[in-house]
Amino acid sequence: MKITKTVQFGTMLAGSLIILVVLAAIFGLTLKQNDMIKNYIHISARAYFESIVLTRRWNAGHGGVFVLKREGMKSNPYLDNPDITTTDGAVYTKKNPALMTREISELAKRYGTYQYHITSLKTLNPTNAPDPWERKALESFERGVEEAAEISRQDDRKVYRFMKPLFYEKGCVACHAEQGYKLGDVRGGISVMLPYNEIETALKDNQQRMLGLGLSILLVMGFTFYLLVWQLMKRLSNTVDLLDNEKKKLEETQASLLDERNKLDDIVSSIDADLLLLDRDMKILWVNRKLRERKAYASDELIGRFCNKAYCNIDEIPADCPSKLALETGKAVHQEHPITHPDGTTRFYAFTCSPVKDSGGNIMHILELVQDITEKKNQEEAFEEHVRELARAQKALLEKNSELERFNQLFVDREFKIKELKDRVQALEQEKKQ
């Protein structure tokens, strides 16, 4: 079998589809990894936000924290009485949550890691006023948006900006009571700014690695499909040719066997009898055509079922079952039995059951020949009844013959007596004449 253009095209198409699927999977994996990297910085920003919020709550929970006022440290001008002096003359100044947040942010910015910014649409400290992006985020928080994030450029670097709202809580009352907020209102928000250049570099490196992996797979798959598979198809073609030849031979053999089987079936079916092949468990393995064509049975209802139930219409195998006796004795068994069919009719059958043995003498199957002898039985019964009627007629004839013999005897005796009387009369007449 030659490799047709259709097969060649189909092989190339299959190879191309597999390569495309693999490349699509790599592309999808690349996008997934990019999302994971981007999600990482988003989770980090959220963690920084939660960290500073917890710190603020700790500060607010203590009503602000006083620290030793060192040289150059300014007091918070937006707090009433932010400083206290101890008995030993030391001055402490109060750090509220907002001031603490700004100072931590400045410290983080100084070391080049991240930066916080606390802001609000109503700020007490002008330095906490929001930039355009923060204002837009704060306005969205008023509408129920839960968080905001974007990638933007600051100076000569890219940064990842993240912001979530701050809600008016009990700890906020001390500093913002006069601003008219209610508990649960959006007080403002904290924005977190993280460097994004390293993340962008990681994304580019990941894309390049995945691109290289895709090209490598493309080359390997191309080599595999267009060289190895091609050679394999040639070998497969030769194998298919051999299989086709073997298939043709097998089909010819099967056709020959089927022909022989049909001939054998014709021969077996020419016998005016049912023929069944049973296994050692008395299950029917095969029946001849005559039995298959019987209206009282259907071949699909016989094959695989127990002979006593399917054919003889009895639930249990009787002790004198001829097939069972043939299996036990290893000899042919002949018996005559009546069978009541599923349609309710009863007929007489002659069973001849013979064991089928293998080359080692082991019984493998039982061949059961069943002949319908109902007409024969009826004729025998009619003949016997005719014989009985002849016997009765002969007896009656003998009785009549006996009576006739008695009558004849009486008639003969009477004739003798009449003759004797005649002789005596003649003698008397002669005596008178003398």
Are 62 and 51 in contact by the 8 Å Cβ rule? The answer is: no
* Phi, psi torsion values for 155, nearest 5 degrees: 60, -115
What letter would DSSP give residue 283?
B
Q: From 5, 18, 3, select the one nearest 222 (Cα to Cα).
A: 18
Whole-angstrom distance, CA of residue 145 vs CA of residue 14 = 49
pTM, rounded to two decimals: 0.40
The architecture in CATH of the region 269-372 reads: 2-Layer Sandwich (3.30)
CB atoms within 10 A of CB 25: 12
Query: Quick check: 290 and 269 in contact, CB under 8 A?
Result: yes
Model pLDDT, residue 433:
72
83 with 69: CB under 8 angstroms? yes
CATH class of 5-61+96-203: alpha beta
- Which pLDDT does position 385 carry in this prediction? 84
**Which pLDDT belongs to residue 193?**
83
pLDDT of residue 1: 46
Contact at 8 Å (CB) between 279 and 365?
yes
Q: Which of 191, 202, 170 is nearest to 34 (CA)?
A: 202
Q: Hey, which residues does 277 pair with through a beta bridge?
A: 286, 367
DSSP-derived 3-state class of residue 340:
strand
370: exposed, middle or buried (Cβ count in 10 Å: 0-12, 13-18, 19+):
buried
- Residue 254, pLDDT score: 81
- What does each of the 434 residues of the chain score in pLDDT, given as a tens digit? 455 556 556 666 666 677 677 667 766 666 666 667 677 778 887 888 888 788 877 877 777 788 788 877 777 777 777 878 888 878 888 877 777 777 777 777 777 667 878 888 877 777 778 888 888 988 888 888 888 888 888 777 788 889 888 876 555 545 544 554 556 567 788 888 877 777 667 666 766 777 777 777 777 776 776 666 666 777 777 777 788 888 888 888 888 877 776 776 666 666 778 888 888 888 888 888 777 776 566 555 778 888 888 778 788 888 888 888 988 888 999 988 888 877 777 888 889 999 998 888 898 999 888 888 888 888 888 888 888 888 888 888 888 877 777 777 777 777 777 777 777 777 777 777 76
Give SS3 for 171.
helix
- Tokens at 165, concatenated: 């709202």
Which pLDDT score is estimated for 62?
Answer: 78
| Cα first-last separation, the chain | 147
pLDDT number for residue 334: 92
